[in-house]
A = this chain, B = another copy of it.
C-alpha cells in the first residue's frame, strides 16, 4: 500500500517536473514566435521542413500527437496565412497532401533565428550539458510511453 503510494508519488513527481518544464519552455517559445503564431502551428511547419512535405494530415496528426480535428483546424490556420498548400491525394480519393509554400519556409527560418536568439539568453553551458546527458533516457522513455499507450 504505502509502497504503491510512494511509487505513485515518485511517478507523479516525475511527470509533474516534465509538465512544468514543458509549460515554461512552450511559453518561452510562444513569446519569441512572431505575430501570434501558436507553437503547435510552428511545430507543424517544422515537421514538414525537417521530415519532408507532401504528407497526409492524418500522418502529421499522429506525429504531432493531436487528433485529426485539431489538425484540420491548424492546417486551416496555416493555409489562411499562406504557409502551406493542401492538395487532394492523387492516389487516395479520401486523402489530402500538405505542402510548404516558399512563404512558409521563409517564415520558419526567420522564426528559428528569432527563437535561437532568445534561447541564447536562457540556455547556458550547464543546461546544454543536462540536455546532452539525459537525452538518451528521455528518448527511451518517450518511446516506451508511445509504444504502450
Contacts and interface: CB of A to CB of B under 8 A. Distances in A.
Nearest to A15: B25
B18 A138 contact: yes
Interface of A: 4-5, 7-8, 10-29, 43, 46, 65, 112, 115-116, 119-123, 126-128, 130-135, 137-142, 144-146, 148-149
Contact of A8 (B4, B119, B137): B119
Contact of A24 (B46, B131, B146): B146
17 contacts: A7-B128, A13-B135, A15-B21, A17-B139, A17-B142, A18-B21, A18-B25, A19-B22, A20-B65, A20-B146, A22-B22, A24-B142, A24-B145, A28-B145, A126-B144, A130-B140, A131-B141
A81 B50 CA distance: 45
A86 to B, nearest CB: 24
Contacts of A138: 14, 17-18, 21, 134
The 10 closest A-B pairs by CB, nearest first: A8-B116, A22-B22, A24-B145, A134-B134, A14-B131, A15-B25, A23-B65, A17-B138, A130-B137, A122-B148
